Amino acid sequence: MKTAHVTKLSLAASLALASTAMMAQRNGPDWNTAGFDVQRSHWMKADKDVTSASVAKQGFELIWKQKIDGVKVGLSEPIIVGTFIGWKGFKDLVLFQDGTGNLYVYDSDLGVPYFDKRFNNTSAAKPCALASIGAPGRPSLLEPAAAMTRPGASPYHSVIGKPDEGVPGGMNPQRFGRPPGATQPEATPGLNQGGRAATPMYTVTADGTLHIMAHGTGNEYEKPTPFVPAGSAASDISSVNKVVYVATLQGCGASPNTLFAMDRTDPAKPVVKQWKPESGNILGAPAFSTGGNLYVTTTKQMAALDPKTLNAKVMSNKGFASTPMIFTTADKKEYVAAGTADGKLVVMDAGTGAVVASAGEEQKTPFMPTAMATWDAAGTRYILVTDKTKQKAPVVAYTFSGGKLQTAWTTTELEAPGNPLVLNGVVFVLATGEQRGSADPADRAKGKPAVLYAYDGKTGKALWNSGTAIAAAVTTSGIATGSGMLYLADSANTIYAFGFPQERQ
């Protein structure tokens, strides 16, 4: 393991972070699943320092980078665990998963390893050549996370139980960022045992096994359970209401294009159900409505599934190009957005599947909306799209109002753009630099070094970019954010953290 490279940051200054007052300011909703929430919005609503004005000024930069040795296949989009008291003091953690399910957990402030969780997968089927790697997951609420300073915080307790009892249960709730007035989440036997350091994280290893671990230690406090066929290309992991979901994607394993759901209401007797679409290849992880239904897109249709039975209703027989994204407007109407194979962005009524609005016909060059984000600014709903199949493509922002989509702004073309992310009204997007056209990350890594860009979310004005800070293309990872920092991993298995250095002093 190589030593972390830290810019403008001394260890002594960093250790000053271990003050309760500082931690209280920095706590916020966690990035628990790919796309931040199970609606897949890619929107962190608030941050006390990151704004369009602050990012436009000098100071937002590379904070640290760390090379990880021994990674298999590549690294995923990370998930983020906000401040908790662990065995090494106050910590924020960033967690990456590799292509075989191994976990690499880092102190997100200092860029130093917190722990690794490497599994023995020598008997597993050979992993696939993956266009992306599914992110690990943690339990998520169905309500989109609110912009709160310390959502759901409770007094801290030790996570050490009585002799021979293991990790105690029912001590602290999970921190989700509940909207004001929302009820406390129900304690889940076996899934939220212990304090903040013991709330669960999930990974699916190459042998198809679901592992349930405490994020503060990596200790497995439930028995690993067979979940999907060995060697499957697993999607990002979702966990909602005691059920863990993952889709197996096209091209790998004994049962591709299958959605698996493991009900862990009784951890001693988990129940696994599965669903296969009527037609087409599943495009990725499902998105969830606030009522609990999950939406899955394939290359031939979109279906809405009951979360417990997986009984499905076909919502559309269009050919889709993106996973779905759910959002709710100010009038409490819920919509599902997705990109189609014929180059359109469609917004559909989440209840009926009726197309409410579409856009994309105005694009002068072929453009498939394959990656999306959404955010709301004072009642104006924005939807961001880009094309992850193209070597060069812009990010296009639409406003959705009165049942119509209108173009708000368009960036210049980026080199192999990734999925946009919105942090407090600032749009971040990675020009991955990968050489597209192959499913093999090694071939795609022969492209250009990646560059991270920031834009004003309302106007599209370019605010900042990372220049030459990233040394290689990004092939299997996405970007995620927590406590004002952005994290990603390149094809050389180096992870990067960008932010304001004064936050760590």
Residue tagged 């909207």 (tokens): 179
- Total number of domains in the chain: 1
Angle at 31 between CA 395 and CA 172, to 5 degrees: 165
Amino acid at 67: K
d(CA 396, CA 400): 13
385 touches 398 (CB < 8 A)? yes
pLDDT score recorded for residue 440:
81
Q: How many residues appear in the chain?
A: 505
pLDDT score recorded for residue 72:
82
Q: 412: domain CATH number?
A: 2.140.10.10
d(CA 301, CA 350): 14
Q: Is 89 helix (H, G, I), strand (E, B) or coil?
A: strand
Residues forming a β-bridge with 238 = 245
Strand order in the sheet with 5-6: 5-6, 61-67, 494-499, 485-489, 480-482
d(CA 257, CA 249): 5
The boundaries of the domain holding residue 479 are 5-504
Task: List b or e across 187-199, with b for residues whose CB sees 16 or more CB atoms inside 10 angstroms.
Answer: ebebbbbbbbbbb
pLDDT score recorded for residue 242:
92
d(CA 292, CA 307): 6
For the chain, 505 residues long, the average pLDDT of each consecutive 10-residue run is 46 36 51 96 93 94 96 92 76 92 93 90 59 90 64 36 38 41 44 51 93 88 92 93 94 88 94 95 96 96 96 96 96 96 96 94 79 95 96 96 95 97 97 91 93 98 98 97 95 97 56
pLDDT score recorded for residue 370:
96
Q: Would you call 354 exposed, middle or buried from its count of C-beta atoms within 10 A (0-12, 13-18, 19+)? A: exposed
Q: Is 441 helix (H, G, I), strand (E, B) or coil?
A: helix
β-pairing verdict for 345-349 and 355-359: antiparallel
